[in-house]
Amino acid sequence: MGLVKIGAVELRRVHLPLVRPFRTSFGTETVREALVLRVVTSDGEGWGECVAGSEPGYSSEYVDSAWLTMRKFLVPLLLDSAGVSAAGVAHLFHEVKGHRMAKAALEMAVLDAELRSAGMSFSQFLGGVKEAVAPGVSVGITGSVAELLDVVGGYLDEGYCRIKLKIEPGWDIEPVAAVRERFGADLMLQVDANTAYERSDIGHLAKLDEFALLLIEQPLDEEDLLGHAALARRISTPVCLDESIVSARAAADAISLGARSIVNIKAGRVGGYLEARAIHDVCRANGVPVWCGGMLETGLGRAANLALGALPGFVLPGDISATARYYREDITVPFVLTGGTIPVPTGPGLGVEPIPAALDSLTTETEVMRG
When binding is defined by CB under 6 A, the residue of 296, 342, 344, 350 that contacts ligand SMG is: 296
Q: Are 293 and 318 in contact (CB under 8 A)?
A: yes
Segment contacting ligand SMG by CB under 6 A, of 82-90, 173-181, 293-301, 350-358 = 293-301
Burial 112-136 (b: 16+ CB within 10 A, else e): bbbbbbeeebbbbbbebebebbbbb
Quick check: 222 binds Mg ion (CB under 5 A)?
A: no
Q: Are 25 and 168 in contact (CB under 8 A)?
A: yes
Residue closer to ligand SMG (CB basis): 69 or 264 = 264
Q: Are 216 and 190 in contact (CB under 8 A)?
A: yes
Residue closer to ligand SMG (CB basis): 45 or 319 = 319
When binding is defined by CB under 5 A, the residue of 112, 192, 297, 330 that contacts Mg ion is: 192
Whole-angstrom distance, CA of residue 242 vs CA of residue 232: 15
**What is the x/- site pattern for Mg ion, positions 224-243, by CB under 5 A?**
------------------x-
Which residues, in sequence order, are bridge partners of residue 22? Answer: 29
Segment contacting Mg ion by CB under 5 A, of 32-40, 188-196, 200-208, 301-309 = 188-196
Quick check: 58 binds ligand SMG (CB under 6 A)?
A: yes
When binding is defined by CB under 6 A, the residue of 192, 222, 224, 275 that contacts ligand SMG is: 192
Catalytic residue among 97, 130, 164, 266: 266
Whole-angstrom distance, CA of residue 58 vs CA of residue 218: 11
Q: How far is CA 123 from CA 103, 132, 305, in A?
A: 20, 11, 9
What does the DSSP 8-state code read for residue 318? Answer: B
Residue closer to ligand SMG (CB basis): 93 or 335 = 335
| Residue in 154, 149, 135 with CA at minimum distance from that of residue 19 | 154
* Residue 207: active-site member: no
- Catalytic center residues: 166, 266
Residues contributing to the site for ligand SMG (CB under 6 A): 22, 24, 29, 53, 58, 138, 192, 194, 242, 293-296, 319, 321
